[in-house]
Structure 1
Amino acid sequence: MSGAPLDPELLALLLPEWEAAAERLAAATEEREQRRALDTLRGMAGGAGIESLQSALRAFDPLPEPFDAASAAAALAAHARTVVAAGHDLPFEPAEPAGAAPPDRAPIRTLVVDDSAMMRRLVRESLSSDPVFAVVAEAADGREALARMAEEEPDLILLDIEMPVLDGLGVLREWALRGTGAVVVVSSAAVPGGEVATEARRLGASAVVGKPSGAFSPDLGERQGEAIRRAARRAAGLPPKSRVEGP
């Protein structure tokens, strides 16, 4: 399954379109819409030659009863990000349905990268309300981030863009070659749809989340904190947090 390397340029182009199709699947409430989204994903998986995704999609033909479109979309998007990060195919491991996380689940080992100590603390506190995440390391610049990645091999990296020594895009370029885990960009420089955000997604970032206005704004925990937690769960291949899991 993990044979020859896949075309990195093709993978980089595939990921945004794959995630958009997965989002359409997650939002689909009618069987016709679900089938259309799945057909789109099948075409992309076949065109990219990703056998694991083709095999996973065959499990939805015919659609099982019941069919959880949101959980299927989350699993397919997470696996695509993992394959793109690895540069070669990998066995498909479906995500668990919402509310089914066992108490002995290994925590999502997370690296927080930002040149502001206050922002690192705010991001860490935002994640602390979701017990699936465990911050195992922090870094204040891009070069230190790469060193922490090599040492800790985190499952998830929350990455700023504007940093000294090596910026976030530089980190992503290095990570795309040899890094592990998934990356969520948390930065005021990466405006959704803007040039920096587009480049971050092209390099393999799972999501781009804006910082609040001003690095020391307390609204991170109230508004942006929730956006960060949602993006982090998606990047880690987890379903959205349900009410039965906590507030």
Structure 2
Amino acid sequence: MSEALDPELLAALLPEWQDATDRLAAAATPSAIARALDTLRGLAGSADIAVLRDAMRAFNPLPDPFDPAAAAATLRAAGRRLGGESPEEEPETTAAAPGPSPVRTLIVDDSAMMRRLVRGSLDVDPAFVVIGEAADGREALARIAVDRPDLILLDIEMPVLDGLGVLREWALSGHPGGTGAVVVISSAATPGGEVSIEARRLGAAAVVGKPSGAFSPDLADRQGEALRRAARRAAGLPAAP
């Protein structure tokens, strides 16, 4: 390496650099790409490390067309070199026929544990990618307007604005940003019940019940399959093989 670097600085910087490159690789919207690149530019500039600054120059201005995954691989390799690893350890990216884009999904639930369980249920199906989470209805509407998810997995009982309130505003606004379908996941929405009927009237594509206990850890086993089936139908995907 051409410059002597503080080991403590590298130990603090490199995990952040790798995390930012991972976010760039997964970025599916211009705003997400811009946020990831801003983070990387900030890290390269604040640390004043030539290897990282030089790597970032290739993306100022951005090439057209811009491939976030290929850019992330290049920047990740720069971080590996900085850490003393061989750049050959970075897997090469090869051109492949593009497959269908994953369904960009927003999870809305005031319980962090339930959000984690729902995310885990979707993680086993590569047709979906979780692009964000919201802990109440008002936050959900803000995320919908910015991130434009293809699918929203929505709880009913939440603070600030409940799920039915989200559906009402979502319906009145004409589905902001061209957002896709909504699947309600709630213990309050029993099949055929008043809440389920109202949710469907307001545009929900499906209603799936939660486990009997709000903190039950068995969502992946008991409800995960039903959730994935409903999410696939709502997103217009065929049933999982």
Structure 2 residue aligned with 1:119: 114
The aligned amino acid for 1:137 is: G
1:104 to 96, 99, 108: 99
Structure 1 residue aligned with 2:163: 168
Structure 1 residues not aligned, in runs of 5+: 1-101, 243-247
Structure 2 residue aligned with 1:235: 234
**2:219 paired with 1:220:** yes
User: Equivalent residues in 2 for 1:78-227 (5 A)?
Assistant: 104-178=99-173, 179=175, 180-227=179-226
Q: Please give the alpha-carbon distance, in whole angstroms, between the structure 2 residues aligned to 1:117 and 1:219.
A: 15
SS in 2 for 1:138: strand
The aligned amino acid for 1:175 is: W
SS in 1 for 2:153: strand
RMSD: 1.1
Structure 1 residue aligned with 2:65: none
1:218 offset after TM fit, Å? Answer: 2.0
1:185 offset after TM fit, Å? Answer: 0.1
Structure 2 residue aligned with 1:91: none
The aligned amino acid for 1:227 is: A
Structure 2 residues not aligned, in runs of 5+: 1-96
Equivalenced residue count is 141
SS in 1 for 2:218: helix
The aligned amino acid for 2:180 is: G
Q: Please give the alpha-carbon distance, in whole angstroms, between the structure 2 residues aligned to 1:209 and 1:112.
A: 14
The aligned amino acid for 1:236 is: A
Q: Please give the alpha-carbon distance, in whole angstroms, between the structure 1 residues aligned to 2:191 and 2:207.
A: 7
The aligned amino acid for 1:167 is: D
The aligned amino acid for 1:150 is: A
SS in 2 for 1:218: coil
Name which one, 1 or 2, has greater alpha-carbon Rg: 2
The aligned amino acid for 1:235 is: A
Q: Please give the alpha-carbon distance, in whole angstroms, between the structure 1 residues aligned to 2:136 and 2:213.
A: 19
1:177 offset after TM fit, Å? Answer: 2.3
Q: Please give the alpha-carbon distance, in whole angstroms, between the structure 1 residues aligned to 2:224 and 2:171.
A: 26
1:192 offset after TM fit, Å? Answer: 0.7
Percent identity over paired residues: 79
Q: Please give the alpha-carbon distance, in whole angstroms, between the structure 2 residues aligned to 1:139 and 1:172.
A: 15
TM-score by length of structure 2 reads: 0.57
1:131 offset after TM fit, Å? Answer: 0.3
Q: Please give the alpha-carbon distance, in whole angstroms, between the structure 2 residues aligned to 1:184 and 1:103.
A: 27
Q: Please give the alpha-carbon distance, in whole angstroms, between the structure 1 residues aligned to 2:139 and 2:200.
A: 22
Q: Which has the higher relative contact order, 1 or 2, with Cα contacts under 8 A spaced 6 or more apart?
A: 1
1:134 offset after TM fit, Å? Answer: 0.4
User: Equivalent residues in 2 for 1:23-38 (5 A)?
Assistant: none
TM-score by length of structure 1 reads: 0.56
1:104 offset after TM fit, Å? Answer: 1.6
Runs of 4+ in 1 over 4 A off after TM superposition: none
SS in 2 for 1:137: strand
